[in-house]
Amino acid sequence: MTNQNVISSDAKSGKNIRISCILLHKSLFSPAMPKPLPAPRLAKMIETGGAAAAAAAAEVAKTNVWVNSMRDSSPTRVKSTSSLSETEEKNSWILKHPSALSMFHQIVNASKGKQIVMFLDYDGTLSPIVEDPDRAFMTNEMREAVRDVARYFPTAIVTGRCRDKVYSFVKLAGLYYAGSHGMDIKGPSKTRKYKKDHQALLFQPASKFLPMIDEVYKVLIEKTKSIPGAKVENNKFCISVHFRCVDEKMWAALAEQVGSALNDYPKLRLTQGRKVLEIRPIIKWDKGKALEFLLESLGYANSNNVLPVYIGDDRTDEDAFKVLRNRGQGLGILVSKVPKETNASYSLQEPAEVKDFLRRLVDWKRFSPGGACRV
């Protein structure tokens, strides 16, 4: 990747704003997703029914895989062990992923001499998961907590939502917003606090896919009309098909309709989040890449003096947790009430605990001179 500055004129102020972009190497774009291996019984079908029957069976097998994935929720729940009770299993998981509240002093002590940078998912982290995604409002208390955190630490909202939509929920100007899983990033335009020069950060690595995304969105609206409870959301650089309100008996039909809509679009891929199927461009970009991009933009790409903290509840947040684990630098915090497979180091149970953690972080920074933790 190479940096490039673009000068954009602000018509209202008459001033020029420098926009920092990163040009992407062609390797960002990955080849089409490989087709799944056929089920064992398909070999017999190829002999007796021909290629058409085999192809149909492969589609059924693919749909079944997605239904099972939809059922698992996100991230995948830890499989129960017959020798352990539910309580023992949860206690065992907590030992590996302790509460970020109970381990708060250890967390802030690890930040001594380092700049904390906060990364926050939105749905299920700052707001509760609700049936209607258009009503996923954060509380005023949570907004105040996020606002105060941003006063002391560079803070980014990293979400699968459309950037403009999540901004309308959060309504805080001093944050970085990474919408569409980081494919639409914009930074504060009226702050010099965290950057050496005045820059309005704008990065959109999947711009050329916009017409295709709009086209598939219209196709999916039509295809899902017959499935009660399904909701299709255009998040600009990706499409979300919410199935939280869909009867489980209809999940296979929904997965089949969504899969068939993508047959003519090999440059788009199907992924899954928490009670949502998501269609994204086939590029090597996710929340983990967005985290790395923002750290680089803030000047912390190869720095040992930074402590990234990422809080999220979704399978898509695992990409960011994995980046932090591979870096050996930073903390991932999974928001979940039940044990789940995760690359996060710590856990919080619900948005209310996220709010408490953010408030404690602010109080620690505000009242502890030099950032030293007072036990």
Q: Residue 23: helix, strand or coil by DSSP? A: strand
Distance CA 325, CA 283 (A): 22
Q: Quote the radius of gyration of the chain (alpha carbons, Å).
A: 22
Q: Which amino acid is at 109?
A: N
**Is 299 within 8 Å of 154 (Cβ atoms)?**
no
Give 343's contacts (C-beta < 8 A, 6+ positions apart).
Answer: 318, 321, 322, 324, 325, 332
Neighbours of 375 (CB within 10 A): 5
The answer to whether residue 123 is catalytic is: no
Distance CA 14, CA 10 (A): 5
Q: Which of 81, 195, 125 is nearest to 336 (CA)?
A: 125
Kindly name the residue from 10, 72, 121, 286 that is annotated as catalytic: 121
Residue whose entry in the numeric block shows the structure tokens 């080849």 = 31
Instruction: Record the tokens describing residue 93, joined without a space.
Output: 């998981």
Long-range contacts of residues 182-188, Cβ cutoff 8 Å, at least 24 apart: 182/158, 182/285, 182/286, 182/287, 182/289, 182/290, 182/291, 182/293, 183/237, 183/238, 183/280, 183/281, 183/283, 183/285, 183/290, 184/236, 184/237, 185/290, 185/293, 185/294, 187/297
List active site positions. 121
